[in-house]
Amino acid sequence: MSFLSVPEKLQQLRALMHTQNMTAYIVLSADPHMSEYLPEYWKMRQWLSGFTGSVGTLVITQDFAGLWVDGRYWVQAEQQLKNTGITLQKLTQDPSSNHLAWLENNIAAKQSVCVNGQTISVAQFQALEQLAKRKDFQINTQLDLISQIWQDQPALPSKTIYIMDDEINALSRKEKIEIIREKLNEKSVSSHFISALDDIAWILNSRGQDVDYNPVFLAHLFINQEQVVLFIDQQKLDTEVRKQFHDDGIQIKDYQDTALYLMQISEQSLLLDPSKVSIFHEQSISKQSQIMHDINPSTLLKSRKQDSEIAHIRHAMQKDGVALCHFFHWLENALANQESISELTIDEKITGFRQQQQGFIGLSFSTIAGFNENGALPHYRATPEHYSQITGNGLLLIDSGAQYRDGTTDITRVVPIGQPSQDQKRDYTLVLKCHIALAQAVFPEGIAAQLLDSICRQPLWQYGLDYRHGTGHGVGFALNVHEGPQVLSYYAPIHAYSKMHKGMIVSNEPGLYHEGKYGIRIENLVVNRTKQFDDGTDSVSSNYGEFLEFETLTLCPINRECIVPEILDQSEKAWLNQYHATVRERLSPSLSGEVLEWLIHNTEAVI
């Protein structure tokens, strides 16, 4: 099979577009489940463009090709799009910067725009459809042109799934399904169609291996008051899984028969999440059914972790912390001995130490190890073709995480290499101040998560500095490392389900990036818990309602060598010292020898 360059792929696509009389073709970073991380089969935008970032939208016409990405990816996209014929389109908060605005200005009446209906959500299609009506152009969702030119396109995955251990689950499958049925009754809707893979895995207390980093499996789920139907490649079900599903009243149908089933149902009403279901599947639903658009009840339910789940996550964090202590001890010695270390070595070593922990499944995302200018790319990933040696002076940013059977982790630390500059130390301390500001926050139950973002950014804003990504994302319980609906980002719109509630886990990860120089990010995972006041009472008795605070879950020392102590106030020093005391107390029993000595030294108090 001969290798096609990006320009050659575009040429073949344009030839197909010409035969179909298509003016523009949209390629989204999506699959029929609206997943963030995609099976290889659905990485169509990456295959066509060569851009490896997780998010981006391509628009191709006969004389134009543009890739829309947000600020996290501008530098990466600019590098990867060189000589491809694809132009970087910088996506910002301004609606005039998105691909819909470009289509409005460049597509004429009676022309035709095509997008694969399996890769565009109902909500995205609605926005495109409104534009098409205003501009009087046509939309075609029936053609998959990429698969026609991708000759060696990978097959869909078919690895077996597994049932989670009973002691890990706070609720059984039957209990979760009954709760969802109660929610449907409350909404006066008779049935529910679910495509979101993490929701399906959560409902069924099952995990899979179909998507890198996320322990999910390709499937759709239909629930009404009488039945539950799982649409899945039946090769993924062994005898024991089939039996357990059968015992719980779950019918099994082929994954490819989902649309046909939806055509034949006779439900009075059907609930689906317009951001998590493809327009292909909605358009397949029988016209006899009234469709209700709302968030999946399971999305809200799984975002609020049960006490027993949080206990399991604490255990996973402890194992992860032990692995990280071994890693950072190794790194310190390797640097002192002037061993040859690259960004690829970092990935290999940190993964190796995690693999030694009980219940390790895999990474929760691809490790980001960026030295100096590479650390300024928030989603950088070293490859055998492009990586840096860790030598000289500067900052090494390491963002990594793991999937354990009892929890998901995500952590970022920055390590000084050689002699960091005074500017680097100042910036590091400012980012630490941001991190502590959010960690110390107290806020009312039900506040929009986006509003907390400004608390975190204040120390940077006071210097006229900022970062182009959100401060925090939700995290699943032994599930996806990115989970909604909570998101700490003033870039994100506030909606009815943006509220913070007890049991929600989010990341606390402020950063600062100087293009071509260095990047800094300090990240822990935190969980919302009821605030305990100094007088010993909790906030439930407050006249102003319940208040929440964060419990920091991640257990790993925050490097102290880059801290400028004079920039921290006493409250910030007290928080850091208390955090390090907790890290020492929780991890010491599982460490010994030089690694224990390393932990004790790196958790000493900052005066």
pLDDT of 395-451, one tens digit each? 999 999 999 999 999 999 999 999 999 999 999 999 999 999 999 999 999 999 999
End-to-end CA distance of the chain: 63
Pairing, β 191-194 against β 219-224? antiparallel
For 188-214, the pLDDT digits (tens) are 999 999 999 999 999 999 999 999 999
The reported pLDDT for the residue numbered 3 is: 83
* DSSP calls for 261-303: HHHH---SEEEE-TTTSBHHHHTTS-TTSEEEE---HHHHHHH
Mean pLDDT, the chain, integer = 95
The reported pLDDT for the residue numbered 54 is: 86
Torsion sign, CA atoms 12, 15, 17, 23: positive
For 542-574, the pLDDT digits (tens) are 678 899 999 999 999 999 999 999 999 999 999
Q: Are 102 and 130 in contact (CB under 8 A)?
A: no
Domains within the chain, CATH numbers bracketed: 6-149 (3.40.350.10), 162-294 (3.40.350.10), 307-602 (3.90.230.10)
For 501-515, the pLDDT digits (tens) are 999 999 999 999 999
Find the helix packing angle between 593-602 and 307-336, rounded to 10°.
Answer: 100
Q: What is the 3-state secondary structure (H, E, C) of 537-570?
A: CEHHHCCCCCEEEEEECCCCCCCCCCCCHHHCCH
* pTM of the predicted model as reported, rounded to 2 decimal places: 0.93
Confidence of residue 378 (pLDDT cuts 50, 70, 90): confident
